[in-house]
Structure 1
Amino acid sequence: MSESLPPQLPEQAQPQPAVKVPLALEDWVSVLSMALLALITFANVLVRYLTNTSFAWTEELSIFLLIVVTLTAGSTAFVRSQHIRIEFLADAGPQNRQRRLAIIATLFSVLFFLGLTILSARMVYDEYTWGDTSPAIGVPTWWYSIWVPILSGVITLRLAGMLHRLLRGPQ
């Protein structure tokens, strides 16, 4: 007689954090970017298999879409506390210590993404000023890179909101 294991229940969904701008905005941008990335990659593989040539523009567009997915998913990961952290330290000890560590980590994250926003905006300005173009398609490179400071700014605002909620204390 074989013993069967009890059915596994799905993990309970975590409640959505209270935010003013819905996280669904970044979620949909991530989903649509991933879908477009999968479509483009599939089309390129299919064309390469059938014709032994590939689309030159797919690599540029794929890199752009991966950057968009990384930054939009990163934004929601911070707010949902799904980002990479050392849980042994972050979740150990009394609540007061956990809160202080969360404030410090969020503050440094705000400073990092603020710096990334400023420096990537300078990079976009340089690309615009010098008229850099992409190698495969020949479009201005700032068309791709303008999204790095924009999405880094979004992450900065999300983190600033988190920091504000942490500093207000438990509600």
Structure 2
Amino acid sequence: MLKRLEETLLALLLGGMVSLAFLNVLTRYLFRYPLAFTEELLVNGFVWATLLGIAVGLREGAEGAHIRFVALTEFLPTPWRRGFVALGFLVFAVLFLVLAFLAWRQAQDDLALGSVSPSLGIPNAFYTLPTPFLAAWVAVRALEGVWRSLRGGEA
């Protein structure tokens, strides 16, 4: 169910971004008036889509679906290989937990300062609040990868 939810959210987000970018191109060339707010929405949507895409890639397969450097681990005995793959997932999880913490601090600052976006005039927290949760979700998916690697099988 979570797999389906991730994919649906990602598809809706990407579809909305493509539609918005296309609308901006149309207005720029037909009316010679670009929609300034689209850049604001697209940049932040790109951040969310990137984080969701990372989470989706981490959950696929025994070692994840992301490109990785395997020249050294391919020659290791299976238990050692599993350990190094698990270590890679663990480092990934720590990195994204740090990102989640820093993004949470950014969202808190945006809320405390009451800063607003330049084009739409909405609170910046609208853009920054999803980021720590998405980064934490990436960390959860990475920890699942640690578990899969140590177990030696598919999730």
TM-score computed with the length of structure 1 as normaliser? 0.82
Q: Name the % identity.
A: 28
Higher relative contact order at CA 8 Å, sep ≥6: structure 1 or structure 2? Answer: 2
Shift of 1:160: 1.7
Mapped partners of 1:82, 1:170: distance in 2:
14
Deviation at 1:71?
A: 0.6
Change (3 A) 1:35 1:115: same
Q: CA deviation at 1:94?
A: 2.1
Matched residue pairs, number? Answer: 151
1:84 and 2:33 are equivalent in the alignment: no
In angstroms, what is the RMSD of aligned CA positions? Answer: 1.6
Report the 3-state secondary structure (helix = DSSP H, G, I; strand = E; otherwise coil) of the residue aligned with 2:75: coil
Question: Comparing both structures, which one devotes a greater share of its residues to helix?
Answer: 2
Query: Match for residue 72 of structure 1?
Result: 52
Task: Pick the structure with greater CA Rg.
Answer: 1
**Cα gap change, 1:114/1:62 in structure 2, threshold over 3 Å: closer, same or farther?**
same
Are residue 165 (structure 1) and residue 145 (structure 2) matched? no
The answer for the alignment partner of 1:154 in structure 2 is 137
Distance 1:68 1:98 in 2: 32
Q: Does 1:112 align with 2:85?
A: no
2:107 pairs with 1:124 = yes
Q: Which residue of 1 aligns with 2:22?
A: 42
User: How far apart, CA to CA, are the structure 2 residues paired with 1:98 and 1:77?
Assistant: 20
Shift in Å, 1:26: 1.3
Aligned match of 1:58: 38
User: Are the counterparts in 1 of residues 87 and 146 from structure 2 also a CA contact under 8 Å?
Assistant: no
For the 8 Å contact 2:37–2:120, the answer to whether it is kept is yes
Does the CA-based 8 Å contact 2:111-2:125 persist in structure 1? yes
- The unaligned stretches of length 5 or more in structure 1 are 1-20
